[in-house]
Amino acid sequence: ISVAAFLTPKMIANYLIKGNIGDYDLILIPGFVRGLTEEIEEATGIPTFKGPKYAHDIPQTLEAIKNGFKLSKKVPADELFQINALKKVEDIRNKTKNKNYIENALKKPYNLLIGNLPVGCDFPQRIVSEIVDAPKLSMEEIVNKALYYLKSGADAIDIGMISGAENLDFIDLLPEIRKKIKENGFDVPISFDSLNEKELERASEHADLLLSIDGSNLEKLVTKTPVVLIPTNQKTGYFPQKPENRVKFLEKLKENALQLG
């Protein structure tokens, strides 16, 4: 049989009986096989479970079995991993809501607060949803988009500015945007997304996070507000093409940022 999904538990059981299967501890069948594995187990007397759908997940499956992971006679192993991973994420989210846990974790150098949201290696991955070209939208449209993203699972809202334009007056609306979002039950960080120095400078008074700082504006935008560094220099048109060069330039920016305070 050239396609795993065309196999059936009965066919597998018959082949194994004809092959005089020996003394094995476990049988794994492809995850794409339909039906339950009981028929194979009854025919061979060997515990039989659904393995992963794809062969490249077999090593992970075997490692999981060694560590006590319970496989299913019905659900493919990779789907079980997904269910288990989501449960772990929820466990981490619940754990990281504990006040003492947050206080201790924030003492480590790779964790920090963005507004009132703790982020870093000891916290769940956070989702920042951008409202693109926000100055083109009305206040109602901005708030409605923000609420949609937050109800869909976002942890923070990013106010995206218009590339190549300057909208300094709009930035003064950030406190009102924050207030209206909070009135709807979401007290979340507000980040600000621009490469314009004047916009970023003014937004630093209102935003919890600034995007984006690069080689062109780093020295002019020293701020206590957390910033996101990107490995470019917009003024000179420098954009490293090779990943290793981007990393080197990003490391250099990080060192410069730390020295600037």
pLDDT tens track for 106-133 = 999 999 999 999 999 999 889 999 999 9
Average pLDDT of span 140-169: 94
Task: Tell me the pairing of strands 111-114 and 117-120.
Answer: antiparallel
Q: Count the neighbouring beta carbons within 10 Å of the beta carbon of residue 198.
A: 12
pLDDT for position 81: 85
Tell me what pLDDT residue 2 has. 84
pLDDT in tens, 51-77: 999 999 999 899 989 988 899 999 999
Task: Please report, as a single letter, which amino acid is at residue 216.
Answer: S
Give residue-wise pLDDT tens across range 81-104: 887 777 777 777 788 888 999 999
Residue 190 has pLDDT above 80, yes or no: yes
pLDDT digit string, tens, across residues 8-50: 999 999 999 999 888 899 999 999 999 999 999 999 999 999 9
Q: What percent of the chain has pLDDT over 90?
A: 76
Residue appearing with tokens 């924030």: 106
Q: Is the pLDDT of residue 145 over 80?
A: yes
Structure tokens of 103?
Answer: 């206080």
Average pLDDT over residues 212-226: 91
Q: Of all residues in the chain, what percent carry a pLDDT higher than 70?
A: 100
pLDDT at position 22, please?
Answer: 82
Contacts of 62 (CB under 8 A, 6+ apart): none
CB atoms near residue 57 (< 10 Å): 17
> What is the distance between the alpha carbons of residues 140 and 146, in angstroms, rounded to a whole number?
10
Average pLDDT in the chain: 92
pTM score of the predicted model = 0.67
Return the pLDDT at 18.
Answer: 93
Q: Is the pLDDT of residue 188 over 80?
A: yes
